[in-house]
Amino acid sequence: MHPTRPWRWLAAFCLLVGSLTAADPVPLTLRVMTYNLRYASTQQPNAWSDRLPVMQALIKREAPDVFGTQEGLYLQLRDLAAGLPAYAWIGLGRAGGSQDEFAAVFYRSDKFEPLAFDHFWLSDTPEVIGSITWGHTYRRMVTWVRFRDKATGREFEFWNTHFDHQVETARQKSAALIADRLRQTDPTRPLLLVGDFNCLAGKSPAYTLLTQEAGLTDTWTAAPRRTNEDLNSFNDFLPPVHAAERIDWILVRRPLAVEAAGIVDYAGLGQFPSDHFPVTATVRF
C-alpha cells in the first residue's frame, strides 16, 4: 500500500463527516415571553407613569430573547422601548398606522434579524385593516415576524395575537383562521404563537383547536418544570389568585424540547406592572 493512501482515506472520511454535520440543523434555543401591558392611562392607581419603570425592570430581569405584547398604545410602546435599549420592535396599530392598540413583537436586535413581517385581522376579511365581522366590538389582529438567528443562521417565526374578551364565536373563528394561516407556512420552520387568548387553556374550544387540530404544543404543559404553577395569569391589579387559570399562552410547533415555563408574579415598589402577569418559556428546536 502506498504510504500516503491511509491519509487520503482519512481526508475523505473527514470531508464526509463534515458534510453530514453541516447538513444537520444547528440547535436553536429561545427564551420567549407574552405580556399584556394594559393600555396606558393617567388615572390613579396604576397610572402608566408608575407602572412603566417596574415593567422595564421586570423585562430586564427576565431577559427574553423575543416577546409579544398586547394592548400597548404607540406612545406606550415607545416609552417601553426607550428603557430597553437591547430590544427593537415591530408592530402596527389595530386601526392602521399608529392608531389603536398593538400586538407588538420585541426582539433582541443583537441576536436576531427580521427577514419578513406582516399583519392580518381576525375577521372574514383578514387583509382589510381594522376589519370586524364576527360580532365583537374591538378590532383584533395578528402580527408575525420571520427572524434569522445571527449566531446559527436558523430561521423561526414569531406570531403574536390578542383574542376578543366578549364573543366566544369570535374566539373560535380567530383560532380557526390562525390554524388555516399556519398551514400555509413552511412546516419545517420553528414557529411560536403567543398572546392573550381571553379563554382558558385546556378548557376552551379555541385552545383545543390550536393544540389538537393545528398541532401546536402548549409550552406550559410540555415543560418539565414550571414556576408559579397554580397562579392565574390575569390579576386585575388585585392580590394573586391561585386557581391555575391561564388565558395567556405560548404555543409552539414541533419543539425538540421545552425546558421550562413560568408565570412571573413580580411587583416592585408596591406596584404591579400590569393587570396580567407575563408568561415565559424556554424552548429548544
In this prediction, residue 195 carries a pLDDT of 98
Rounded distance between C-alpha atoms, residue 161 and residue 94, angstroms: 11
Rounded distance between C-alpha atoms, residue 194 and residue 43, angstroms: 29
Whether 68 contacts 35, CB under 8 Å: yes
* Domain boundaries defined on the chain: 27-284
pLDDT(19) > 50: no
In this prediction, residue 23 carries a pLDDT of 54
In this prediction, residue 13 carries a pLDDT of 47
pLDDT(251) > 60: yes
Q: What percent of the chain has pLDDT over 90?
A: 89
Candidate from 13-17, 172-176, 258-262 with smallest mean pLDDT: 13-17
| pLDDT per residue as tens digits for the range 91-147 | 999 999 999 999 999 999 999 999 999 999 999 999 999 999 999 999 999 999 999
Rounded distance between C-alpha atoms, residue 36 and residue 165, angstroms: 13
Average pLDDT, the chain: 93
pLDDT(189) > 60: yes
Whether 215 contacts 253, CB under 8 Å: yes
In this prediction, residue 107 carries a pLDDT of 99
pLDDT band for position 24 (50/70/90)? Answer: low
Superfamily per CATH, domain 27-284 = Endonuclease/exonuclease/phosphatase (3.60.10.10)
Q: What percent of the chain has pLDDT over 70?
A: 92
Candidate from 9-18, 31-40, 160-169, 233-242 with smallest mean pLDDT: 9-18
Write the DSSP assignment of 168-184 as a string of letters.
Answer: HHHHHHHHHHHHHHHTT
Q: What are phi and psi of 232, to 5 degrees?
A: -70, 140
Cis peptide before 45 (omega within 30 of 0): yes
pLDDT(17) > 50: no
Rounded distance between C-alpha atoms, residue 35 and residue 76, angstroms: 14
Say how many C-beta atoms besides its own lie within 10 A of residue 108's C-beta. Answer: 18
Q: Is the dihedral of CA 222, 223, 225, 230 positive or negative?
A: negative
| pLDDT per residue as tens digits for the range 212-233 | 999 999 999 999 999 999 999 9
pLDDT band for position 26 (50/70/90)? Answer: confident
pLDDT band for position 177 (50/70/90)? Answer: very high
